[in-house]
Amino acid sequence: MKLAVTSASFSKNKYLRDEVSSKWRGKIKYNIEGIRFTKSELIIFLDDADAVIVGLDQIDLEVLESLPKLKYISKYGVGLDNVDLKACAERGIPVGWTGGVNKLSVAEMTIGFAISLIRNLYQTSSLLSRGEWKKVGGRQLSHKTVGLIGFGNVGKEVYRLLEPFNCKILINDIDTNAFNGYSLKNSKLERIFKESDIISIHTPLSEKTQNLITIKEMRTMKQKPFLINTARGGIINESDLEVALDEGHISGLAIDAFIEEPYPPHSLIERENVYCTPHIGGNADEAVMAMGKSAIDNLLKITKG
């Protein structure tokens, strides 16, 4: 059987390539060049593959219909919003996946964003690099109110890492079972919007979370919070973010995931109070290894039935 690996970080990792080679009996094709495939390029890359280890590439109905040989999919990473699970099930294509393997990597980045934003670290560093000595030290994270939207693997890890800061933490999740084992109450989104100094997004992207936060919600944010999105692009409306910044409803934001990648809108990312990174939340070295090993293990499991 032929295997194709679309993820650039997996493909460039020699240890993971060696692991696959030692366990996979068949031809293997890697995305060594680090290409962010268009849909047509992705179909060409996967054209003769029986199995795929996929990262963020969209495996939708059109792609599946163009790949009649494809029999197995293993997910490198934790989000499944880029794989049409219904279409896969209808075609008898199993999808290997393990949740939470990069949770600490994303959670640590979220804490880093929170401290950097509230203390003005990124903004003053950028000004200093341009020769401007501006001593505006911001506020401490300790004892502030932090709103977490989504309490899955990453949300729980952020909650744990926030404990030493003695913050008041408000949490919302559509799944009440997410709170099992915790002495926490499910806060309404309206309360999180009104009371939080920092709001961090940790939900998957779905029909329910698409445009979860728009200018309507941001105009109710009385504390002018900092927003953090290390989840998926599209949960916060990007165009509305610019309106909210102009109108002063939010103090700034940090974004690691965008609707359009790899090139988000310059009108947003060039602002001084906007801290942007190229979707690296789950890409700490340790997380890459954990996600890669998980993808390999799940591939072997599903190909063995």
Query: Is 93 strand, coil or helix?
Result: coil
Nearest-Å Rg of the Cα atoms of the chain is 21
Q: Which two tokens stand for residue 76?
A: 């490198």
The burial of 186, by beta-carbon neighbours within 10 Å (0-12 exposed, 13-18 middle, 19 or more buried), is given as: middle
The amino acid at residue 264 is P
Catalytic residue among 90, 261, 272, 286: 261
* 16 Cβ contact list (under 8 Å, min separation 6): 10, 288, 289, 292, 293, 296
* 4 Cβ contact list (under 8 Å, min separation 6): 28, 29, 45, 46, 49, 51, 52, 53
Catalytic residue among 157, 195, 232, 238: 232
Query: Is 100 strand, coil or helix?
Result: coil
* 92 Cβ contact list (under 8 Å, min separation 6): none
Cβ-contact 5, 278 below 8 angstroms:
no
The position carrying tokens 């992705």 is 42
d(CA 186, CA 237): 24
d(CA 106, CA 137): 25
Cβ-contact 231, 203 below 8 angstroms:
yes
d(CA 192, CA 201): 11
Query: Is 59 strand, coil or helix?
Result: strand
Catalytic residue among 157, 238, 249, 279: 279
Let me know if 279 is a catalytic residue: yes
d(CA 159, CA 107): 9
Catalytic residues: 232, 261, 279
